[in-house]
Structure 1
């Protein structure tokens, strides 16, 4: 049961895990399939390939860690950062991970993490040691930059400014700000404004398109009966079987930075009695859990309400709308993956 786990993390593990998650281990630019009706997708691939090619040469400061004494290195002539600007499901994370893989540098000289993972790293190490730990990197990729948390946005923007001054190249995707969601439109203006003085370092790549996980596919599959979920869990190696309400309560006791560790060694998740969530804090915790399950390609078999009804209509039209739609998209994909377990 996930609700019986209490994972612990240390700083060294946080550093070691700054790599693309398992779902994106094998992705490459060549495996990204651009939508023929969205030429911006193919253009983005070409631009990122050129960006990766420009990342050759020695790492900043010759690969040595330092405390930013003396004159900052000369800035590169090409933009030091690139921002992937698009809605959910257009493949931004696929392309960001492909950039990480295409960068000709040892794994210890490039980092890939979500905004939450980066803030957790700063919290675990302290700001100055985090700068030191990342300043020798050639590339730092930040997925899902959280524009709706002003304090953490300033913290990470300051961190990235220090890294950019050290010659580290940056790449990012982001969500949209609450109240500026429109119809799932783009966040480039919001992103550039929030990172303030750092924005000059970034070139924006717009990626149009629909959620690829649902191109021509049905919405969330019908949930199973409780008994079906229980039986399937009993015969599935590496299964975690939970009742939905106790799991939601347990998530409130575990920091979201530990949700990845929470599902370590779990090959499939089985949930009984999924209900619609109306509490905002509980809903946002479920968003993070959905992200970690999706990253690790853990199928989810569930009874109760279908995942496209997991969040209330009020939530799906509110300030965190984009996060909830992303979670529904990912959980629906994982629910489809669970069909083989039935």
Structure 2
């Protein structure tokens, strides 16, 4: 019988990483899942010609990055020809049609400096650096890619419209993905009509490209595996994660600890962790706590960290009101991703 390395136990609830602005910005790149994708590796579905059209449009957009094509936003407003491209390109389509693959392919094809992150990561960046320092840092970039673009509250609407406007004025090219057309951002979450000016500023900066395909939303959530019995957790952990660095935490302690760590540091908090074990998972009932946990779920999924947990199963992590409310898309995504990581740990299924 081969010897195996013993488990190395860590705790996320004791980690409070110090991360510099340069280190935070260095993390704005595609995750390992999209670390080597390209336009050539994207396989358009012949049943949906818009997918091939999107590849063509993005190749052309990439070719114009860094050569001065289009100029800044104000330049396009005054004296520019209508045929000149806008500052940004916006991929609209349902879940699972390959928008992130395409956006990452654009990032790989473009010259640097460049940034790739989710919408939440950019708002967290502003929170960590300040708005002005974020603008100063990104204004020298040739391309800024925003994945999962969504507006959930008035503050984000104003913040992101200002950020995109100032970056576009500086000549930065923008690219985004979402399942909501830019003119419809915010609908169903707050009184969007009160912020129509900011929303329209965003819409005016993007050329919208529709990417059709089968929408994963119609498939429903994958079945969450049953949680592990508390008494079996240690044995299952040793069986599944032998020789790995495992972060083992009481769920309540972890939730409390997250409140004291800025979400921009969650990625660094997971450095070196190969698996996580949570004891006594409970349903989250406070919106602010739940939204913070969604960020951690995204970072765990980015790093493909398998999860073993006791307590409630992940399909009961958020209240029914949360799963049907204004932030339902965030919670739907978090449950889906956590379920995939749990299935990877318990059933050896790759998290996709």
Could you state the TM-score of these two structures normalised by the residue count of structure 2? 0.78
How many residue pairs align between the two structures? 323
Determine if contact 2:114/2:143 at 8 Å carries over to the other structure. yes
Question: Alpha carbon RMSD of aligned pairs, Å?
Answer: 3.5
State which of 156, 173, 180 in structure 1 corresponds to 2:188. 180
CA distance in 2, matches of 1:45, 1:271: 41
CA contact (8 A) 2:38 2:105 kept: yes
Structure 1 position 281, deviation (Å) = 1.9
Is 1:230 the counterpart of 2:234? The answer is: yes
Q: Does the CA-based 8 Å contact 1:276-1:305 persist in structure 2?
A: yes
Change (3 A) 1:60 1:228: farther
Structure 2 gaps, min length 5: 1-10
Q: 2: distance between equivalents of 1:306 and 1:228?
A: 15
Note the C-alpha offset of 1:124.
4.2
Deviation larger for 274-283 or 317-326: 274-283
Distance (whole Å) between structure 1 residues aligned to residue 325 and residue 150 of structure 2 = 16
Moved more, 42-51 or 317-326: 42-51
Shift of 1:141: 0.7
Task: Give runs of aligned pairs for residues 86-235 of structure 1, distance below 5 A.
Answer: 86-103=93-110, 105-106=111-112, 109-174=113-178, 180=188, 194-210=198-214, 218-234=222-238, 235=242
Contact 1:60 1:136 in 2 (8 A): no
For each residue in 1:213-241, what CA deviation from the matched residue of structure 2 results, as whole angstroms up to 9, or x when unmatched?
99799522232223443224342411111
Per-residue CA distance 1:308-335 (angstroms, 9 max, x = gap):
2222222111111111101111112212
Match of 1:291 in 2: 298
> CA–CA distance in 1 between the matches of 2:145 and 2:116?
5
CA offset at residue 162 of structure 1? 1.7
Shift of 1:275: 2.5
Residues 1:30 and 2:30 are matched in the alignment: no
Retained in 1: the 8 A contact 2:223–2:339?
A: yes
1:338 corresponds to: 345
Question: Does residue 64 of structure 2 align to residue 54 of structure 1?
Answer: yes
Change (3 A) 1:314 1:125: closer
What residue number does 1:185 align with? Answer: none
Contact 2:95–2:217 (CA<8 Å) still a contact in 1?
no
Matched residue, 1:260: 267
3-state secondary structure, aligned to 1:31: coil
Structure-2 change in CA distance of 1:19 and 1:89 (3 Å): same
SS in 1 for 2:148: strand
Contact 2:126-2:134 at 8 Å conserved across structures: yes
How has the CA–CA distance of structure 1 residues 194 and 222 changed in structure 2, closer, same or farther, with 3 Å as cutoff? farther
TM-score (normalised: structure 1): 0.81
